[in-house]
Chains A and B, each alone.
Chain A
Amino acid sequence: MIYIENFGRYFIMLKEVFSRHTKWSMLKNLIFKEIDDLIYGSLGIIIFISFFIGGVVAIQTALNIDNPLIPKYLVGFTTRQSVILEFAPTFTSIIMAGKVGSYITSSIGTMRVTEQIDALEVMGVNSLNYLVFPKIVALMLYPFVIAIAMYMGILGGWIAAVFGGYSTSAEFIKGLQVDFNTFHVIYAFTKTIVFAFILATIPSFYGYYMKGGALEVGKASTSSFVWTSVAIIIANYLLTQMLLG
Protein backbone atom coordinates (compact mmCIF):
# COMPACT_ATOMS: atom_id res chain seq x y z
CA MET A 1 0.00 0.00 0.00
CA ILE A 2 2.84 2.38 0.90
CA TYR A 3 4.34 1.87 -2.60
CA ILE A 4 1.09 2.96 -4.27
CA GLU A 5 0.87 5.94 -1.92
CA ASN A 6 4.47 6.95 -2.71
CA PHE A 7 3.84 6.52 -6.43
CA GLY A 8 0.88 8.93 -6.22
CA ARG A 9 2.79 11.39 -4.05
CA TYR A 10 5.67 11.37 -6.54
CA PHE A 11 3.37 12.56 -9.35
CA ILE A 12 1.74 15.17 -7.10
CA MET A 13 5.26 16.37 -6.30
CA LEU A 14 6.07 16.65 -10.03
CA LYS A 15 2.96 18.79 -10.58
CA GLU A 16 4.09 21.12 -7.80
CA VAL A 17 7.68 21.24 -9.13
CA PHE A 18 6.42 22.73 -12.40
CA SER A 19 4.02 25.26 -10.83
CA ARG A 20 4.48 28.66 -9.10
CA HIS A 21 7.92 29.37 -10.53
CA THR A 22 10.74 31.03 -8.65
CA LYS A 23 11.93 34.41 -9.95
CA TRP A 24 14.20 33.90 -13.00
CA SER A 25 17.03 35.99 -11.50
CA MET A 26 17.18 33.53 -8.56
CA LEU A 27 16.52 30.44 -10.64
CA LYS A 28 19.38 31.22 -13.03
CA ASN A 29 21.92 31.21 -10.19
CA LEU A 30 20.46 28.00 -8.75
CA ILE A 31 20.69 26.25 -12.13
CA PHE A 32 24.36 27.24 -12.56
CA LYS A 33 25.10 26.02 -9.03
CA GLU A 34 23.41 22.68 -9.73
CA ILE A 35 25.30 22.30 -13.03
CA ASP A 36 28.51 22.81 -11.07
CA ASP A 37 27.53 20.34 -8.32
CA LEU A 38 25.76 17.64 -10.34
CA ILE A 39 27.38 17.73 -13.79
CA TYR A 40 30.84 19.25 -13.47
CA GLY A 41 31.38 17.58 -10.09
CA SER A 42 30.66 14.14 -11.58
CA LEU A 43 32.98 14.33 -14.59
CA GLY A 44 36.05 12.96 -12.80
CA ILE A 45 34.46 9.73 -11.58
CA ILE A 46 32.60 9.22 -14.89
CA ILE A 47 35.79 9.62 -16.94
CA PHE A 48 37.71 7.27 -14.63
CA ILE A 49 35.06 4.52 -14.61
CA SER A 50 34.23 4.71 -18.32
CA PHE A 51 37.88 4.50 -19.33
CA PHE A 52 38.50 1.32 -17.36
CA ILE A 53 35.17 -0.31 -18.23
CA GLY A 54 35.97 0.23 -21.94
CA GLY A 55 39.37 -1.34 -21.37
CA VAL A 56 37.89 -4.37 -19.58
CA VAL A 57 35.26 -4.92 -22.31
CA ALA A 58 38.00 -4.88 -25.00
CA ILE A 59 40.24 -7.32 -23.10
CA GLN A 60 37.42 -9.76 -22.28
CA THR A 61 36.16 -9.74 -25.87
CA ALA A 62 39.68 -10.36 -27.20
CA LEU A 63 40.29 -13.21 -24.73
CA ASN A 64 37.04 -14.92 -25.74
CA ILE A 65 37.83 -14.91 -29.44
CA ASP A 66 39.70 -18.19 -29.96
CA ASN A 67 38.30 -19.04 -33.39
CA PRO A 68 40.65 -17.83 -36.18
CA LEU A 69 37.62 -17.31 -38.45
CA ILE A 70 36.30 -14.52 -36.26
CA PRO A 71 37.79 -11.23 -37.46
CA LYS A 72 40.01 -9.33 -35.03
CA TYR A 73 38.08 -6.10 -35.63
CA LEU A 74 35.30 -7.67 -33.53
CA VAL A 75 37.13 -6.32 -30.45
CA GLY A 76 36.53 -2.72 -31.57
CA PHE A 77 33.00 -3.55 -32.74
CA THR A 78 31.99 -5.14 -29.40
CA THR A 79 33.57 -2.35 -27.38
CA ARG A 80 31.67 0.27 -29.38
CA GLN A 81 28.33 -1.54 -29.13
CA SER A 82 28.67 -2.34 -25.43
CA VAL A 83 29.82 1.14 -24.47
CA ILE A 84 27.31 3.09 -26.59
CA LEU A 85 24.27 0.89 -25.97
CA GLU A 86 24.63 -0.03 -22.30
CA PHE A 87 27.76 0.79 -20.37
CA ALA A 88 27.81 4.57 -20.96
CA PRO A 89 24.11 5.34 -20.54
CA THR A 90 22.90 2.68 -18.07
CA PHE A 91 25.95 1.65 -16.03
CA THR A 92 26.99 5.29 -15.61
CA SER A 93 23.46 6.22 -14.53
CA ILE A 94 23.49 3.57 -11.80
CA ILE A 95 26.76 5.04 -10.54
CA MET A 96 25.21 8.51 -10.71
CA ALA A 97 22.23 7.23 -8.67
CA GLY A 98 24.76 6.56 -5.91
CA LYS A 99 26.81 9.71 -6.29
CA VAL A 100 24.38 12.42 -7.39
CA GLY A 101 21.24 10.70 -6.02
CA SER A 102 22.48 10.36 -2.47
CA TYR A 103 23.86 13.93 -2.59
CA ILE A 104 20.43 15.26 -3.64
CA THR A 105 18.56 13.20 -1.01
CA SER A 106 20.89 14.09 1.83
CA SER A 107 21.06 17.79 0.98
CA ILE A 108 17.27 18.17 0.67
CA GLY A 109 16.73 15.83 3.65
CA THR A 110 19.06 17.93 5.81
CA MET A 111 17.14 21.05 4.77
CA ARG A 112 13.95 19.28 5.88
CA VAL A 113 15.44 18.26 9.25
CA THR A 114 16.82 21.74 9.95
CA GLU A 115 13.47 23.38 8.99
CA GLN A 116 15.02 25.23 6.03
CA ILE A 117 12.21 23.90 3.80
CA ASP A 118 9.62 25.17 6.29
CA ALA A 119 11.42 28.53 6.22
CA LEU A 120 11.03 28.65 2.42
CA GLU A 121 7.34 27.74 2.64
CA VAL A 122 6.65 30.33 5.34
CA MET A 123 8.19 33.01 3.11
CA GLY A 124 5.76 32.05 0.35
CA VAL A 125 8.36 30.29 -1.81
CA ASN A 126 7.30 27.13 -3.68
CA SER A 127 10.00 25.00 -2.08
CA LEU A 128 9.61 22.13 -4.56
CA ASN A 129 10.10 24.43 -7.53
CA TYR A 130 12.99 26.20 -5.78
CA LEU A 131 14.79 22.98 -4.85
CA VAL A 132 13.93 20.43 -7.55
CA PHE A 133 13.36 22.37 -10.79
CA PRO A 134 16.97 23.65 -11.05
CA LYS A 135 18.21 20.07 -10.58
CA ILE A 136 16.02 18.83 -13.44
CA VAL A 137 17.26 21.63 -15.72
CA ALA A 138 20.90 21.03 -14.73
CA LEU A 139 20.61 17.30 -15.36
CA MET A 140 19.31 17.94 -18.88
CA LEU A 141 23.03 18.44 -19.60
CA TYR A 142 23.56 14.82 -18.56
CA PRO A 143 23.72 13.59 -22.21
CA PHE A 144 26.97 15.59 -22.54
CA VAL A 145 28.38 13.61 -19.60
CA ILE A 146 27.31 10.40 -21.29
CA ALA A 147 28.91 11.52 -24.59
CA ILE A 148 32.17 11.97 -22.66
CA ALA A 149 31.64 8.54 -21.05
CA MET A 150 31.19 6.99 -24.50
CA TYR A 151 34.35 8.65 -25.80
CA MET A 152 36.39 7.63 -22.76
CA GLY A 153 35.03 4.07 -22.83
CA ILE A 154 36.05 3.59 -26.45
CA LEU A 155 39.42 5.29 -25.82
CA GLY A 156 39.98 2.93 -22.86
CA GLY A 157 39.09 -0.03 -25.08
CA TRP A 158 41.46 1.13 -27.83
CA ILE A 159 44.37 1.63 -25.39
CA ALA A 160 43.76 -1.78 -23.73
CA ALA A 161 43.43 -3.58 -27.08
CA VAL A 162 46.36 -1.94 -28.85
CA PHE A 163 48.85 -1.65 -26.00
CA GLY A 164 47.81 -5.03 -24.55
CA GLY A 165 48.60 -6.64 -27.90
CA TYR A 166 45.05 -7.95 -28.47
CA SER A 167 44.40 -6.04 -31.68
CA THR A 168 46.06 -3.57 -33.98
CA SER A 169 44.95 0.05 -34.02
CA ALA A 170 43.70 -0.29 -37.63
CA GLU A 171 41.63 -3.40 -36.81
CA PHE A 172 40.15 -1.77 -33.72
CA ILE A 173 39.21 1.40 -35.62
CA LYS A 174 37.74 -0.72 -38.43
CA GLY A 175 35.61 -2.47 -35.78
CA LEU A 176 34.40 0.90 -34.52
CA GLN A 177 33.20 1.79 -38.01
CA VAL A 178 31.67 -1.53 -39.14
CA ASP A 179 27.84 -1.53 -39.36
CA PHE A 180 27.62 1.74 -37.48
CA ASN A 181 23.97 2.61 -36.86
CA THR A 182 23.32 6.24 -35.92
CA PHE A 183 19.98 5.27 -34.36
CA HIS A 184 21.90 3.45 -31.60
CA VAL A 185 23.37 6.78 -30.53
CA ILE A 186 19.91 8.42 -30.68
CA TYR A 187 18.55 5.51 -28.61
CA ALA A 188 21.35 5.93 -26.05
CA PHE A 189 20.78 9.69 -25.69
CA THR A 190 16.99 9.24 -25.47
CA LYS A 191 17.54 6.82 -22.58
CA THR A 192 19.95 9.27 -20.99
CA ILE A 193 17.39 12.10 -20.92
CA VAL A 194 14.84 9.81 -19.22
CA PHE A 195 17.50 8.64 -16.73
CA ALA A 196 18.46 12.27 -16.03
CA PHE A 197 14.85 13.06 -15.11
CA ILE A 198 14.73 10.01 -12.83
CA LEU A 199 18.08 10.99 -11.26
CA ALA A 200 16.80 14.47 -10.45
CA THR A 201 13.32 13.64 -9.19
CA ILE A 202 13.36 10.34 -7.26
CA PRO A 203 16.21 11.36 -4.90
CA SER A 204 14.51 14.74 -4.44
CA PHE A 205 11.28 12.93 -3.53
CA TYR A 206 13.02 10.86 -0.85
CA GLY A 207 14.78 13.91 0.58
CA TYR A 208 11.77 16.20 0.51
CA TYR A 209 9.28 13.86 2.16
CA MET A 210 11.60 12.34 4.75
CA LYS A 211 10.67 12.58 8.42
CA GLY A 212 12.88 12.38 11.48
CA GLY A 213 16.48 13.31 12.16
CA ALA A 214 20.02 12.66 10.97
CA LEU A 215 19.61 8.86 11.06
CA GLU A 216 16.58 9.07 8.77
CA VAL A 217 18.57 11.22 6.31
CA GLY A 218 20.95 8.26 5.94
CA LYS A 219 18.05 5.81 5.54
CA ALA A 220 16.40 8.10 2.97
CA SER A 221 19.65 8.22 0.96
CA THR A 222 19.78 4.42 0.90
CA SER A 223 16.13 4.11 -0.18
CA SER A 224 16.70 6.80 -2.78
CA PHE A 225 19.64 4.87 -4.29
CA VAL A 226 17.68 1.60 -4.36
CA TRP A 227 14.55 3.07 -5.97
CA THR A 228 16.44 5.29 -8.40
CA SER A 229 18.38 2.22 -9.59
CA VAL A 230 15.17 0.17 -9.86
CA ALA A 231 13.47 2.95 -11.86
CA ILE A 232 16.49 3.27 -14.18
CA ILE A 233 16.59 -0.47 -14.83
CA ILE A 234 12.84 -0.68 -15.53
CA ALA A 235 12.96 2.43 -17.75
CA ASN A 236 15.95 0.92 -19.56
CA TYR A 237 13.99 -2.25 -20.30
CA LEU A 238 10.88 -0.40 -21.47
CA LEU A 239 12.80 2.06 -23.66
CA THR A 240 14.85 -0.73 -25.23
CA GLN A 241 11.67 -2.64 -26.04
CA MET A 242 10.04 0.48 -27.48
CA LEU A 243 12.97 1.85 -29.46
CA LEU A 244 14.87 -1.26 -30.54
CA GLY A 245 12.32 -4.07 -30.13
Chain B
Amino acid sequence: MIIVEDIHKSFGDTEVLKGISTCFDKGKTNLIIGQSGSGKTVFLKCLLGLHRPEQGKIVYNDRAYADMDEDQRTELRQEMGMVFQGSALFDSMTVIENVMFPLRMFSKLSKNEMAERASIVLERVNLVDANNKLPSEISGGMQKRVAIARAIVNKPKYLFCDEPNSGLDPKTAIVIDNLIHEITQEYNITTIINTHDMNSVMEIGEKIVFLKDGYKEWEGTNKEIFKTDNEAVTNFVYSSDLFKKVRDTYLKEGN
Protein backbone atom coordinates (compact mmCIF):
# COMPACT_ATOMS: atom_id res chain seq x y z
CA MET B 1 0.00 0.00 0.00
CA ILE B 2 1.21 3.53 -0.79
CA ILE B 3 -0.20 6.53 1.05
CA VAL B 4 0.37 9.99 -0.38
CA GLU B 5 -0.19 13.02 1.85
CA ASP B 6 -0.34 16.55 0.48
CA ILE B 7 2.63 16.46 -1.88
CA HIS B 8 3.84 19.59 -3.63
CA LYS B 9 6.45 19.70 -6.38
CA SER B 10 7.73 22.72 -8.30
CA PHE B 11 10.21 23.27 -11.11
CA GLY B 12 11.53 26.83 -10.83
CA ASP B 13 8.51 29.09 -10.42
CA THR B 14 6.07 26.53 -11.83
CA GLU B 15 4.21 24.49 -9.25
CA VAL B 16 3.35 21.21 -10.95
CA LEU B 17 1.82 19.27 -8.04
CA LYS B 18 -0.32 21.37 -5.70
CA GLY B 19 -1.06 19.20 -2.70
CA ILE B 20 -2.10 15.71 -3.78
CA SER B 21 -3.32 13.18 -1.21
CA THR B 22 -4.47 9.68 -2.04
CA CYS B 23 -3.94 6.02 -1.27
CA PHE B 24 -3.02 3.12 -3.58
CA ASP B 25 -4.12 -0.29 -2.33
CA LYS B 26 -2.21 -3.55 -2.46
CA GLY B 27 -3.39 -6.13 -4.99
CA LYS B 28 -5.26 -3.50 -7.01
CA THR B 29 -4.65 -1.88 -10.36
CA ASN B 30 -4.55 1.86 -9.66
CA LEU B 31 -4.72 4.31 -12.55
CA ILE B 32 -3.60 7.92 -12.72
CA ILE B 33 -5.34 9.79 -15.52
CA GLY B 34 -5.49 13.39 -16.67
CA GLN B 35 -4.75 15.68 -19.57
CA SER B 36 -1.22 16.29 -20.82
CA GLY B 37 0.48 18.73 -18.46
CA SER B 38 -1.75 17.81 -15.51
CA GLY B 39 1.24 16.49 -13.54
CA LYS B 40 0.78 12.71 -14.01
CA THR B 41 4.37 11.94 -14.95
CA VAL B 42 5.81 14.18 -12.22
CA PHE B 43 3.49 12.49 -9.71
CA LEU B 44 4.61 9.04 -10.85
CA LYS B 45 8.28 10.10 -10.67
CA CYS B 46 7.69 11.36 -7.11
CA LEU B 47 6.22 7.96 -6.21
CA LEU B 48 9.29 6.31 -7.75
CA GLY B 49 11.67 8.55 -5.82
CA LEU B 50 13.07 10.08 -9.01
CA HIS B 51 11.72 13.50 -7.96
CA ARG B 52 11.70 14.69 -4.36
CA PRO B 53 8.58 16.64 -3.35
CA GLU B 54 9.23 19.90 -1.48
CA GLN B 55 6.33 19.24 0.84
CA GLY B 56 4.20 16.27 1.84
CA LYS B 57 4.74 12.63 2.60
CA ILE B 58 4.84 9.38 0.64
CA VAL B 59 4.52 6.25 2.79
CA TYR B 60 5.30 2.77 1.42
CA ASN B 61 3.87 0.09 3.74
CA ASP B 62 4.35 2.26 6.86
CA ARG B 63 7.78 3.55 5.75
CA ALA B 64 7.90 7.26 4.93
CA TYR B 65 10.31 8.00 2.06
CA ALA B 66 11.49 11.26 3.62
CA ASP B 67 12.55 9.47 6.83
CA MET B 68 14.69 6.88 5.03
CA ASP B 69 18.47 7.06 4.70
CA GLU B 70 20.16 6.38 1.34
CA ASP B 71 20.58 2.63 2.02
CA GLN B 72 16.92 2.23 2.95
CA ARG B 73 15.93 4.11 -0.21
CA THR B 74 18.11 1.80 -2.28
CA GLU B 75 16.43 -1.19 -0.59
CA LEU B 76 13.00 0.31 -1.29
CA ARG B 77 13.86 0.78 -4.95
CA GLN B 78 14.71 -2.90 -5.18
CA GLU B 79 11.09 -3.55 -4.18
CA MET B 80 9.87 -1.49 -7.16
CA GLY B 81 9.37 -2.53 -10.75
CA MET B 82 8.86 0.02 -13.49
CA VAL B 83 7.56 -0.27 -17.04
CA PHE B 84 8.60 2.86 -18.94
CA GLN B 85 6.65 4.42 -21.78
CA GLY B 86 9.36 3.57 -24.30
CA SER B 87 10.19 0.28 -22.51
CA ALA B 88 13.73 1.57 -21.65
CA LEU B 89 15.34 -1.78 -22.41
CA PHE B 90 19.13 -1.81 -22.46
CA ASP B 91 20.07 -1.73 -26.16
CA SER B 92 23.30 -3.65 -25.81
CA MET B 93 21.71 -6.57 -23.95
CA THR B 94 19.59 -9.41 -25.29
CA VAL B 95 16.03 -10.02 -24.07
CA ILE B 96 17.11 -12.58 -21.47
CA GLU B 97 20.01 -10.39 -20.29
CA ASN B 98 17.61 -7.46 -19.85
CA VAL B 99 15.29 -9.60 -17.73
CA MET B 100 18.18 -11.07 -15.73
CA PHE B 101 19.67 -7.63 -15.07
CA PRO B 102 17.93 -6.87 -11.71
CA LEU B 103 18.79 -10.40 -10.52
CA ARG B 104 22.44 -10.01 -11.52
CA MET B 105 22.56 -6.70 -9.67
CA PHE B 106 20.89 -7.65 -6.44
CA SER B 107 20.32 -11.37 -6.00
CA LYS B 108 22.70 -14.06 -4.86
CA LEU B 109 21.31 -16.64 -7.28
CA SER B 110 23.65 -18.64 -9.49
CA LYS B 111 23.75 -17.87 -13.20
CA ASN B 112 21.62 -20.96 -14.00
CA GLU B 113 19.05 -20.06 -11.36
CA MET B 114 18.86 -16.50 -12.73
CA ALA B 115 18.38 -17.78 -16.29
CA GLU B 116 15.70 -20.19 -15.07
CA ARG B 117 13.85 -17.43 -13.17
CA ALA B 118 14.08 -15.09 -16.19
CA SER B 119 12.72 -17.81 -18.50
CA ILE B 120 9.76 -18.45 -16.15
CA VAL B 121 8.92 -14.73 -16.11
CA LEU B 122 9.28 -14.45 -19.88
CA GLU B 123 6.96 -17.41 -20.27
CA ARG B 124 4.51 -15.67 -17.90
CA VAL B 125 4.38 -12.65 -20.20
CA ASN B 126 3.87 -15.04 -23.14
CA LEU B 127 7.22 -14.32 -24.70
CA VAL B 128 9.06 -17.41 -25.85
CA ASP B 129 11.76 -17.89 -28.50
CA ALA B 130 13.00 -14.29 -28.20
CA ASN B 131 15.56 -14.83 -25.43
CA ASN B 132 18.61 -14.15 -27.55
CA LYS B 133 17.24 -11.29 -29.62
CA LEU B 134 18.23 -7.67 -29.09
CA PRO B 135 15.48 -5.13 -28.22
CA SER B 136 15.87 -3.59 -31.68
CA GLU B 137 14.99 -6.95 -33.27
CA ILE B 138 11.56 -7.31 -31.61
CA SER B 139 8.25 -5.45 -31.98
CA GLY B 140 6.96 -2.67 -29.68
CA GLY B 141 4.47 -5.04 -28.06
CA MET B 142 7.19 -7.61 -27.40
CA GLN B 143 9.42 -4.87 -25.95
CA LYS B 144 6.63 -3.98 -23.52
CA ARG B 145 6.37 -7.64 -22.48
CA VAL B 146 10.13 -7.76 -21.88
CA ALA B 147 9.86 -4.54 -19.84
CA ILE B 148 7.06 -6.11 -17.74
CA ALA B 149 9.11 -9.28 -17.30
CA ARG B 150 12.12 -7.21 -16.18
CA ALA B 151 9.92 -5.25 -13.77
CA ILE B 152 8.51 -8.35 -12.05
CA VAL B 153 11.52 -10.68 -12.14
CA ASN B 154 12.76 -9.54 -8.72
CA LYS B 155 9.28 -10.10 -7.19
CA PRO B 156 8.52 -6.41 -6.53
CA LYS B 157 6.00 -5.11 -4.03
CA TYR B 158 5.17 -2.10 -6.20
CA LEU B 159 4.75 -2.01 -9.97
CA PHE B 160 4.69 1.33 -11.79
CA CYS B 161 3.79 1.71 -15.45
CA ASP B 162 4.08 4.91 -17.45
CA GLU B 163 1.63 4.72 -20.37
CA PRO B 164 2.30 1.01 -20.92
CA ASN B 165 0.17 0.75 -24.06
CA SER B 166 1.12 3.95 -25.86
CA GLY B 167 2.20 3.34 -29.43
CA LEU B 168 0.61 -0.12 -29.51
CA ASP B 169 -2.23 -1.32 -31.71
CA PRO B 170 -5.59 -1.63 -29.87
CA LYS B 171 -5.46 -5.42 -29.65
CA THR B 172 -1.93 -5.51 -28.24
CA ALA B 173 -2.80 -2.64 -25.86
CA ILE B 174 -5.65 -4.71 -24.37
CA VAL B 175 -3.36 -7.75 -24.06
CA ILE B 176 -0.76 -5.65 -22.19
CA ASP B 177 -3.44 -4.13 -19.92
CA ASN B 178 -4.83 -7.53 -19.04
CA LEU B 179 -1.36 -8.92 -18.46
CA ILE B 180 -0.53 -6.15 -15.97
CA HIS B 181 -3.89 -6.62 -14.24
CA GLU B 182 -3.42 -10.40 -13.96
CA ILE B 183 0.12 -10.00 -12.64
CA THR B 184 -1.10 -7.49 -10.02
CA GLN B 185 -3.59 -9.99 -8.65
CA GLU B 186 -1.33 -13.03 -9.01
CA TYR B 187 1.66 -11.42 -7.24
CA ASN B 188 -0.58 -9.35 -4.88
CA ILE B 189 1.36 -6.13 -5.58
CA THR B 190 0.47 -2.44 -5.61
CA THR B 191 0.28 -1.42 -9.25
CA ILE B 192 0.08 2.20 -10.38
CA ILE B 193 -0.44 2.96 -14.05
CA ASN B 194 -0.15 6.36 -15.64
CA THR B 195 -2.37 6.34 -18.71
CA HIS B 196 -4.30 8.29 -21.32
CA ASP B 197 -6.03 5.20 -22.60
CA MET B 198 -9.76 5.15 -21.84
CA ASN B 199 -9.97 1.42 -22.65
CA SER B 200 -7.61 0.84 -19.72
CA VAL B 201 -9.79 3.03 -17.51
CA MET B 202 -12.92 1.02 -18.34
CA GLU B 203 -11.28 -2.41 -18.29
CA ILE B 204 -8.77 -2.55 -15.45
CA GLY B 205 -9.16 0.65 -13.37
CA GLU B 206 -9.93 -0.70 -9.90
CA LYS B 207 -9.01 2.71 -8.57
CA ILE B 208 -8.73 5.83 -10.71
CA VAL B 209 -7.14 9.11 -9.66
CA PHE B 210 -7.94 12.01 -11.98
CA LEU B 211 -5.45 14.90 -11.93
CA LYS B 212 -6.15 18.38 -13.24
CA ASP B 213 -3.67 21.28 -13.20
CA GLY B 214 -1.64 19.66 -10.43
CA TYR B 215 -4.64 18.93 -8.17
CA LYS B 216 -6.47 15.68 -7.52
CA GLU B 217 -9.80 16.47 -9.11
CA TRP B 218 -11.55 13.14 -8.57
CA GLU B 219 -10.97 9.54 -7.49
CA GLY B 220 -13.06 6.39 -7.68
CA THR B 221 -13.45 3.04 -9.44
CA ASN B 222 -14.17 2.22 -13.09
CA LYS B 223 -17.79 1.66 -12.12
CA GLU B 224 -18.04 5.02 -10.36
CA ILE B 225 -16.52 6.90 -13.29
CA PHE B 226 -19.64 6.04 -15.34
CA LYS B 227 -21.87 7.69 -12.77
CA THR B 228 -19.80 10.73 -11.82
CA ASP B 229 -21.14 14.17 -12.61
CA ASN B 230 -17.75 15.85 -12.16
CA GLU B 231 -17.54 18.04 -15.24
CA ALA B 232 -13.77 17.86 -15.63
CA VAL B 233 -13.83 14.05 -15.51
CA THR B 234 -16.75 13.67 -17.91
CA ASN B 235 -15.22 16.18 -20.34
CA PHE B 236 -11.96 14.23 -20.34
CA VAL B 237 -13.14 10.62 -20.21
CA TYR B 238 -16.19 11.02 -22.44
CA SER B 239 -14.66 13.39 -24.97
CA SER B 240 -15.28 10.90 -27.80
CA ASP B 241 -18.75 9.97 -29.05
CA LEU B 242 -17.93 6.30 -28.69
CA PHE B 243 -17.27 6.57 -24.95
CA LYS B 244 -20.34 8.79 -24.51
CA LYS B 245 -22.41 5.99 -26.06
CA VAL B 246 -20.70 3.39 -23.88
CA ARG B 247 -21.57 5.48 -20.82
CA ASP B 248 -25.18 6.01 -21.90
CA THR B 249 -25.63 2.30 -22.54
CA TYR B 250 -24.04 1.44 -19.18
CA LEU B 251 -26.31 3.84 -17.32
CA LYS B 252 -29.39 2.69 -19.25
CA GLU B 253 -28.71 -0.98 -18.58
CA GLY B 254 -27.68 -0.24 -15.01
CA ASN B 255 -24.48 -2.35 -14.86
Contacts and interface: CB of A to CB of B under 8 A. Distances in A.
**A joins B in a complex:** yes
B88 A116 contact: yes
Interface pairs A-B: 7 shortest CB-CB: A124-B77, A115-B88, A119-B88, A122-B82, A124-B74, A115-B84, A124-B78
Contacts of B80: 122-123
A116 B78 contact: no
Given A118-B50, A123-B78, A23 B105 contact: yes
B85 interface: yes
A118 B105 contact: no
A234 to B, nearest CB: 32
B139 to A, nearest CB: 17
A242 interface: no
Interface of A: 20, 22-23, 25-26, 110, 114-116, 118-119, 121-125
B84 A119 contact: yes
B134 to A, nearest CB: 14
Given A115-B85, A116-B88, A116-B90, A123 B50 contact: no
Given A20-B74, A119-B82, A124 B88 contact: no
B78 to A, nearest CB: 5
Nearest to A121: B50
Contacts of A22: 105
Interface residues of B, number: 25
A122 B104 contact: no
A125 B90 CA distance: 14
B208 to A, nearest CB: 23
Contacts, number: 54
A119 B161 CA distance: 12
A114 B89 CA distance: 9
Contacts of A116: 88-91
Contact of A125 (B76, B85, B105): B105
Interface string B218-250: 000000000000000000000000000000000
8 contacts: A23-B105, A121-B50, A122-B160, A123-B105, A123-B106, A124-B75, A124-B76, A124-B106
Given A23-B105, A123-B77, A123-B82, 17 more contacts: A20-B74, A23-B104, A26-B105, A110-B91, A114-B86, A114-B88, A115-B84, A116-B91, A118-B50, A118-B82, A118-B84, A118-B88, A122-B48, A123-B101, A124-B74, A124-B78, A125-B105
Nearest to A29: B104
Contacts of A121: 50, 77
A208 to B, nearest CB: 14
B102 interface: yes
Interface in B106-165: 106, 160
Contacts of A118: 50, 82, 84, 88
A158 to B, nearest CB: 41
A122 B86 contact: no
Contacts of B104: 23, 25-26
A33 to B, nearest CB: 8
B102 A123 contact: yes
Most buried by A among B88, B90, B91: B88
A20 B91 CA distance: 24
Contact of A115 (B75, B76, B86, B160): B86
Nearest to A22: B105
